[in-house]
């Protein structure tokens, strides 16, 4: 009730919004004790304490904490009116009442500050994610082509067409350029094993081309260790390879040729002595050892695959074709003759076979040779082994040399006309080629009594 009465006094009611000056704060002790009641005195002291607390919160004194007042409410020896309690505008000390009172960041922080004294900044690389990054100011831009590494599943799809095309053109530099465009990565050695596997499915000429390819790629695209790794993989997979390719045991010849060409190290065979459990691999290694011992004085085993295709001399090919035709005239086996012609692997030289066959018909004594040669050429034509271009070139060569052949065979023109008509009837040659056959004109004279007048 007394407290309520104190606040109901209009003359002495304190106003929370009223600002007291320094004169009001310096009240005379005698005035307080003489004119104020005890309740008013207690209220006045509480107001002074609250004002002192507000000033302490704004001060930057390092000793200004929440414990600066004692339980009795007395200030801990800090004068709120001291100049030290005022906040300086450039003061860098903490105003939270924490820390040791040292400047922030060692004096290296704040507005307009470039770091601590004596600090040397290094040149920083421009960050491409920086909003102020200027690409044009960084010099010439270089764009590099990044080729991803080929997966093992895609490797076979990429390598097979390259090897098959190489079997057609035989240019090792072209293969090297194509391989450089591919990122084979750690699957690089598998190219050699795939090339050897494909050549085993093909002809002897393909194996010769593969041996040359491995020799040219060594020390350019692949090292000897990578080649050795490829052949080691083939030896391990030899049992499965034989099931798909009956010619797989020929890996021994590849090994011997590779060692002779310095594709594989000389110690390759020594690494497998007494360490091979597979019977097929052991036979292949033993055969390679025998081939190397036989050809010790030869630098390269050039004839390990034989000489095939267009690599053989022309005289040798002509001799082989003559032998083929003579054997056919004796045996009459068209299938065997066709197989022998395919083994020669010279489709661009088949016109020579046609030429030799027609010349044999002209030089033969009976009509049987003409019938047999017609059947042989007809078989070659129907199977597509001899093309129309090669057939025309063979006959045209005989047409051009018929005057010289007539010196040895007087009836060559007559025999040629009969053989050409027979081939045309059996659809071996075209009508245009038949009409191009030359015929020797004969001048027939009347009897001696007619005065030598030539009959028209």
Q: Which residue has the tokens 């010790």?
A: 296
pTM of the model: 0.48
**How confident is the model over 106-150, as pLDDT tens digits?**
777 777 777 777 777 788 787 888 888 877 776 677 778 787 888
In this prediction, residue 87 carries a pLDDT of 58
**How confident is the model over 374-384, as pLDDT tens digits?**
999 999 999 88
Please give the full DSSP string across 252-282, using - where no structure is assigned.
HHHHHHHHHTTSS-TTTTGGGTTT---HHHH
Rounded CA separation 265/239 (Å): 24
In this prediction, residue 307 carries a pLDDT of 56
Give percent of the chain above pLDDT 90.
16
Rounded CA separation 344/347 (Å): 8
Rounded CA separation 336/82 (Å): 126
Could you tell me if residue 139 is left (phi over 0), alpha (psi between -120 and 50 degrees) or otherwise beta? left
Residue 370 has pLDDT above 50, yes or no: yes
Rounded CA separation 237/177 (Å): 29
**How confident is the model over 326-365, as pLDDT tens digits?**
999 999 999 999 988 888 878 888 999 999 999 999 988 7
Question: Is the distance from CB of 369 to CB of 413 less than 8 angstroms?
Answer: no
**How confident is the model over 146-181, as pLDDT tens digits?**
878 888 788 888 889 999 999 888 888 999 998 888
Rounded CA separation 47/17 (Å): 12
* 3-class DSSP assignment, residue 32: helix
DSSP state letter for 28: -
Residue 73 has pLDDT above 50, yes or no: no
């Amino acid at each position: 009730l007394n407290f309520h009465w104190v606040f109901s006094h209009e003359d002495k009611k304190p106003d929370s919004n009223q600002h007291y000056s320094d004169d009001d704060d310096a009240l005379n002790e005698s005035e307080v004790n003489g004119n104020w009641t005890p309740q008013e005195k207690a209220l006045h002291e509480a107001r002074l304490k609250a004002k002192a607390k507000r000033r302490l919160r704004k001060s930057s004194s390092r000793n200004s904490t929440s414990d600066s007042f004692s339980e009795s409410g007395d200030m801990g020896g800090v004068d709120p009116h001291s100049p030290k309690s005022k906040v300086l505008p450039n003061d860098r000390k903490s105003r939270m009442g924490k820390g040791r009172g040292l400047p922030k960041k060692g004096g290296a922080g704040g507005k307009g500050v470039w770091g601590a004294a004596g600090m040397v900044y290094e040149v920083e690389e421009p960050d491409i994610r920086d909003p102020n990054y200027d690409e044009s100011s960084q010099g010439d831009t270089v764009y590099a082509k990044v080729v991803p590494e080929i997966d093992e599943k895609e490797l076979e799809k990429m390598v097979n067409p390259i090897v098959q095309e190489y079997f057609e053109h035989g240019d090792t530099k072209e293969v090297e350029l194509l391989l450089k465009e591919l990122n084979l990565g750690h699957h690089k050695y598998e190219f050699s094993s795939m090339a050897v596997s494909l050549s085993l499915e093909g002809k002897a000429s393909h194996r010769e081309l593969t041996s040359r390819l491995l020799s040219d790629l060594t020390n350019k695209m692949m090292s000897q260790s990578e080649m050795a790794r490829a052949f080691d993989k083939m030896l391990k997979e030899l049992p499965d390879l034989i099931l798909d390719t009956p010619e797989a045991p020929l890996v021994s010849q590849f090994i011997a040729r590779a060692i002779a060409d310095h594709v594989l190290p000389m110690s390759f065979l020594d690494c497998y002595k007494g360490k091979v459990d597979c019977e097929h691999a052991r036979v292949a290694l033993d055969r390679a050892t025998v081939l190397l011992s036989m050809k010790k004085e030869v630098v390269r085993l050039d004839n390990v695959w034989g000489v095939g295709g267009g690599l053989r001399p022309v005289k040798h090919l002509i001799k082989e074709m003559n032998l083929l035709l003579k054997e056919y005239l004796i045996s009459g086996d068209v299938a065997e003759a066709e197989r022998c012609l395919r083994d020669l692997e010279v489709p661009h030289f088949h016109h020579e076979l046609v030429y030799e066959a027609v010349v044999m018909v002209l030089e033969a004594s009976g009509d049987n040779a003409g019938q047999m040669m017609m059947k042989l050429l007809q078989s070659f034509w129907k199977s597509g082994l001899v093309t129309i271009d090669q057939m025309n070139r063979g006959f045209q060569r005989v047409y051009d040399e018929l005057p010289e052949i007539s010196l040895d065979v007087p009836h060559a023109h007559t025999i040629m006309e009969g053989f050409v008509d027979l081939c045309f009837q059996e659809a071996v040659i075209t009508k245009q080629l038949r009409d191009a056959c030359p015929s020797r004109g004969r001048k027939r004279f009347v009897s001696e009594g007619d005065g030598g007048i030539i009959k028209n």
